[in-house]
């Protein structure tokens, strides 16, 4: 019996030494340094902004910090080694990876629960396009690091959308951006651009970790690091020569891969959003549309309209003869949209032209008037203290009224 115990102890000791050496081989002085506050903010800020999506979550259960879910390095090393066996992108443990595992599983565990829920919406889109481009499916976790899977994410540097493209990068990747439309915030278009860019970066460096570093810091920064490193091409050997943000970016990516696979082991339960793409559908538009008018006549909350259609940055869909514009809506709301389509078009003003835009409607309230037999526009205008022109602007220009027809009227709040 004693021999068996000693043999088992020896096996555990050898296993521990092997994993310890595995981790130390990827370590070094850079890994023991604290995460710079600016770098920490770059990774942490998207998670913090997830609180703005509370309208999606329904019964949200807050998850306070819980350091009891932390595990010894040996556990992280073993689990990441398991993930690495099934990954095209090399995954390994490093002290910096541990720091970001702590951020994800302790400090921001509540936001990670939201992010895991959002993955049900976006990972199927990402995986389909990554597969089409022949890219590793693990790249879905890159968007988690970039934006925490928030399609409305905007960074202080001006990067926007799920993949956090700045204006010039977006234009370089043929993403259309103007005053009303921003393809950087479109889940499908931005993912196609990200796939194209990542494919280019991998061709350039022939190494996925260097491609990820270049996605964050730019290919020029990685090329300069390679020159300064004197022939070294391994990402971990290049750490001292890379910008600090890129040094931390790849470890944050590995930590994100880890946390999505082992969230339950850390007591993190996904907070599923109330929206499911299976219950959504698109309507093709025949004229310009404002979210405010759609919300007024269909009842879809403004926040949901912005979340489902983030590329329309002003909450306004301009009409184009050359490009078909569509709106994503809950399927249950589409019959109401079709029923009130002419009214929606008639009341869809640009933000600067709207008589009572969504953000400026204080002091006014909307009432609905059901037309009775014998009523006409002048009579209704006198009743509500408005003008005939205003009635026409709110409900579309019409010569006659039909009994039972519903008119929208904005009146002063007493």
Longest dimension (CA), the chain: 103
Buried b (16+ CB within 10 A) or exposed e, 155-187: beeebbbbbbbeeebbeebebebeebbbbbbbb
**What is the SS3 string spanning 58-120?**
CCCCCCCCCHHHCCCHHHHHHHHHHHHCCCCCCCCCCHHHHHHHHHHHHHCHHHHHHHHHHHH
Catalytic: which of 42, 77, 138, 146?
A: 146
Is residue 364 within a helix (H) or strand (E), and if so which, with residue range?
A: strand 364-370
List alpha helices for 185-316, DSSP H.
Answer: 187-205, 208-217, 219-228, 235-238, 244-262, 291-298, 302-308
Tokens coding 81: 């080694």
What are the φ/ψ torsions at residue 113 (nearest 5 degrees)?
-60, -40
Alpha-carbon distance of 219 to 196, in angstroms, equals 14
Tokens coding 102: 């702590």
| C-alpha separations of 53 from 106, 148, 270 in Å | 21, 11, 14
According to DSSP, the residues that pair with 317 across neighbouring strands are: 289
Residue 244 annotated to the active site: no
Give residues with Cβ within 8 angstroms of 116, minimum separation 6.
260, 263, 268, 270, 271
Q: Directed axis angle between helix 109-133 and helix 37-48, to 10°? A: 90
DSSP 26: T
Choose among 397, 83, 33, 376: nearest CA to 253: 83
In degrees to the nearest 10, what's the CA dihedral of 4, 5, 6, 8? 80
Give residues with Cβ within 8 angstroms of 69, minimum separation 6.
105, 106, 109, 265, 266, 267
Tokens coding 78: 């073993």
Instruction: Catalogue the active-site residues.
Output: 146
């Amino acid at each position: 019996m004693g021999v068996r115990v000693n043999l088992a102890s020896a096996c555990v000791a050898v296993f521990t030494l092997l994993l310890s050496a595995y981790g130390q081989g990827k370590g070094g002085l850079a890994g023991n340094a604290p995460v710079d506050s600016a770098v920490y903010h770059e990774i942490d800020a998207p998670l913090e902004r997830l609180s703005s999506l509370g309208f999606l979550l329904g019964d949200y259960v807050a998850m306070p910090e819980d350091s009891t879910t932390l595990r010894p390095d040996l556990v992280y090393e073993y689990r990441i080694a398991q993930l690495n066996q099934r990954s095209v992108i090399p995954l390994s443990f490093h002290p910096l990876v541990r720091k970001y595992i702590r951020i994800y599983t302790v400090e921001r565990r509540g936001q990670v629960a939201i992010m895991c829920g959002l993955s049900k919406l976006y990972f199927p889109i990402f995986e389909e396009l990554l597969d089409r481009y022949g890219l590793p499916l693990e790249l879905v976790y890159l968007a988690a690091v970039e934006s925490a899977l928030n399609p409305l994410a905007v960074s202080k540097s001006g990067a926007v959308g799920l993949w956090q493209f700045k204006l010039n990068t977006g234009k370089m990747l043929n993403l259309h951006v103007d005053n009303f439309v921003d393809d950087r915030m479109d889940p499908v278009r931005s993912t196609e651009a990200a796939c194209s860019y990542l494919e280019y970066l991998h061709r350039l460096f022939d190494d996925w970790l260097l491609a990820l570093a270049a996605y964050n810091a730019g290919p020029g920064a990685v090329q300069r690091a390679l020159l300064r490193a004197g022939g070294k091409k391994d990402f971990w050997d290049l750490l001292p020569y890379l910008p600090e943000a890129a040094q931390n970016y790849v470890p944050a990516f590995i930590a994100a891969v880890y946390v999505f696979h082992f969230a339950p082991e850390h007591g993190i339960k996904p907070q599923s959003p109330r929206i499911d793409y299976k219950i959504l559908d698109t309507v093709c538009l025949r004229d310009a549309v404002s979210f405010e008018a759609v919300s007024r006549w269909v009842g879809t909350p403004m926040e949901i309209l912005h979340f489902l259609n983030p590329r329309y940055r002003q909450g306004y869909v301009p009409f184009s003869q050359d490009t078909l514009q569509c709106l994503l809506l809950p399927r249950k709301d589409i019959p109401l949209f079709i029923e009130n389509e002419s009214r929606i078009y008639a009341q869809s003003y640009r933000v600067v032209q709207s008589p009572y835009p969504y953000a400026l409607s204080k002091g006014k309230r909307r009432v609905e008037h059901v037309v009775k037999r014998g009523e006409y526009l002048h009579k209704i205008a006198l009743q509500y203290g408005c003008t005939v022109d205003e009635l026409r602007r709110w409900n579309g220009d019409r010569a006659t009224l039909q009994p039972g027809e519903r008119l929208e009227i904005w009146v002063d709040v007493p």
